[in-house]
Amino acid sequence: MTTADITSKITPEGSASGSSFYAAMRILPREQREAMFQIYSFCRQVDDIADSDGPRPERLKALDQWRHDIDALYAGNPPPHLRDYVSSVKQFGLRREDFIAIIDGMEMDVPADIRAPDARTLDLYCDRVASAVGRLSVRVFGLGEDDGILLAHHLGRALQLTNILRDIDEDAGLGRLYLPREDLNAAGIMSNDPLVVASDPRLPRVCEGILKQARDHFAKSNDIMARNSRRVVRAPKIMSEYYHAILEKLVERGFALPRKPVKLSKAAKIFILIRYAFI
């Protein structure tokens, strides 16, 4: 499972490496950068719990412990591993409900693997594992309340839907299928077996609907960023450009078998970084 690039590797020092996230966040001033690495370290840790191969009851218990830890942080008694978060929470007004929403999103994969959720459930999943991360992030970036919430909504969904299209085969190997049931059924695919769906020749028809949604969310997020200071939105803009480029490479490759993995070249990433980082 990926949540707007939280599959970045987080080091014990709290920094991410080898990822588009790391490149985008390095350009931020120190206090913003530290807050963002805290947010994504949190995401990485709860994501690791959800994606582990441990017994499901143990994973549910571990996620519930994180809820208690977040409650303790906001009650003024943070556990040792969250003490560094206190200043970021106060300085940037990070909201408890967004941290809890991320945990709730991770938990959606734990009682049973997600397989062909209905469209409403998929949108809730995207909101929790991607847009909730965005709602925390835009506060750190310094966007105004209204545009910040809108950007988190649209860009979070754009990134997560791109992840879903990119990771169809990887997710199927894990027993997961995030494509919506309504789109599968409309294409004549009644199975919710991830491996069966991944090999179905009608799959490209299903992907077209998700592709259209992702492009629409990218367009709306671009409109929001265009009316805000470039300096304030440069980090989310870099993330958006990375993922939009991946989406278009997926379109160029196509969704029929055989599907080769898609990623951006180092040169492409550097070009995007240079274009938007130095303002």
- For the stretch 214-256, pLDDT in tens is 999 999 999 999 999 999 999 999 999 999 999 999 999 999 9
Q: What is the pLDDT of residue 187?
A: 98
Q: How far apart are CA 246 and CA 149, in angstroms?
A: 24
Q: How far apart are CA 138 and CA 11, in angstroms?
A: 23
Q: What is the pLDDT of residue 179?
A: 98
Could you give phi then psi for residue 193, rounded to 5 degrees?
A: -75, 120
Q: What is the pLDDT of residue 25?
A: 80
- Full 3-state SS string of the chain: CCCCCCCCEECCCCCEECCHHHHHHCCCCHHHHHHHHHHHHHHHHHHHHHHCCCCHHHHHHHHHHHHHHHHHHHCCCCCHHHCCHHHHHHHHCCCHHHHHHHHHHHHCCCCCCCECCCHHHHHHHHHHHHHHHHHHHHHHHCCCHHHHHHHHHHHHHHHHHHHHHHCHHHHHHCCCECCCHHHHHHCCCCCCCHHHHHCCCCHHHHHHHHHHHHHHHHHHHHHHHHCCCHHHHHHHHHHHHHHHHHHHHHHHHCCCCCCCCCCCCHHHHHHHHHHHHCC
Q: What is the pLDDT of residue 274?
A: 86
CA angle 99, 104, 108 (to 5 degrees): 150
The 8 Å CB, 24+ separation contacts for 121-125 are 122/178, 122/180, 123/157, 125/160, 125/178
Q: What is the pLDDT of residue 273?
A: 87
Q: What is the pLDDT of residue 279?
A: 60
Cα–chain center distance at 262: 17
Q: What is the pLDDT of residue 3?
A: 54
Quote the tokens at residue 64: 């519930």
Q: What is the pLDDT of residue 7?
A: 42
Q: What is the pLDDT of residue 1?
A: 37
Q: What is the pLDDT of residue 19?
A: 59
Q: How far apart are CA 51 and CA 159, in angstroms?
A: 19
Query: What residues in the chain have per-residue pLDDT under 50?
Result: 1-2, 4, 6-18
Cα–chain center distance at 244: 14
